[in-house]
Amino acid sequence: MTDLLAVRGVTKRFGGVVANHEISLQVPRGSIVGLIGPNGSGKTTLFNSIVGYHPIDAGSIVFDGREISRLRVPEIARLGMVRTFQQTRVFGKMSCLQNLLISVPHVHEGLAAMCTRQPPAVTERARQILRLASLEDHLDQRGADLSFGQQKLLEICMALMNEPRLLLLDEPTAGVNPVMIESLIALLRDINARLGITLLVIEHNMRVMMQLAGHVCCLAHGEVLAQGSPAQITTDRAVIEAYLGAQS
Ligand SMILES: Nc1ncnc2c1ncn2[C@@H]1O[C@H](COP(=O)(O)OP(=O)(O)OP(=O)(O)O)[C@@H](O)[C@H]1O
Ligand SMILES: [Mg+2]
């Protein structure tokens, strides 16, 4: 299995803070890789570096065989890499369907035009994606009227409108109730298995990680502390001391 994403020796500083220090991480094509670590360990910073949100200070990032570390967000998105945010970002006054229609990359159109002038194929794709997330009964419901867990599902649907090959998810189940967590796990598995999309997932919930990821990377203080299968990671002494021990 070849790597869809290869992060090699990435360092990112904010003034005197070294948020990421020489991080290396591989994401094989078709896989689900997990990223864990204590608060402030540099997980979101690594996502921001990967998707081109800010320049890195050292290292390289290769996506599908191409060096992307000097590209910016729109170019990287066009290559097929899309992320979701730690803070949920759905448009509360718009319907679920409209939220999806404004997520397609048409930057030159106004919001209203993007909702009304989309080709039928785009609208149909939006409906299919909402069906995949079991949100088809909520097409016309306002984003703000969905439960928090449904908003998390909707946000993933919005990301799918960009037809990613690699989807980066920043704590997709944070703050979500246990029933909706199961729906989110099912959706992520479907996205991976049925749509063939590779996933890199930041997640604090180890139980979710055990069910999803084939490989887990644990960061601490901006560095890679350990990598391995979920079973290896949950029994790794350094990971337990730095992270898992503090969770329970
Ligand atoms: N834009 C920024 N400017 C300055 N410092 C930053 C910036 N973004 C992140 N940091 C710092 O970098 C370090 C890593 O933060 P980051 O948000 O990547 O951690 P995290 O692992 O995602 O944490 P959490 O689990 O709380 O989301 C922290 O010390 C944080 O304060
Ligand atoms: Mg974070």
pLDDT tens-digit series, residues 114-170:
666 678 888 999 999 999 999 999 999 999 999 999 999 999 999 999 999 999 999
CB-neighbour burial class of residue 92 (10 A; exposed 0-12, middle 13-18, buried 19+):
exposed
pLDDT tens-digit series, residues 33-49:
999 999 999 999 999 99
Average pLDDT over residues 220-246: 91
User: What's the fold here for domain 3-89+164-247?
Assistant: Rossmann fold (3.40.50)
Which is the closest atom of ligand 1 to the Cα of 41? 21
Residue nearest to atom 30 of ligand 1 (CA): 40
Cβ atoms of 127 and 97 closer than 8 Å: yes
Asked if residue 224 has pLDDT above 80, the reply is yes
Ligand 1 neighbours by CB, cut-off 6 Å:
14, 17, 19, 37, 39-45, 86
Confidence bin at 214 (pLDDT 50/70/90): very high
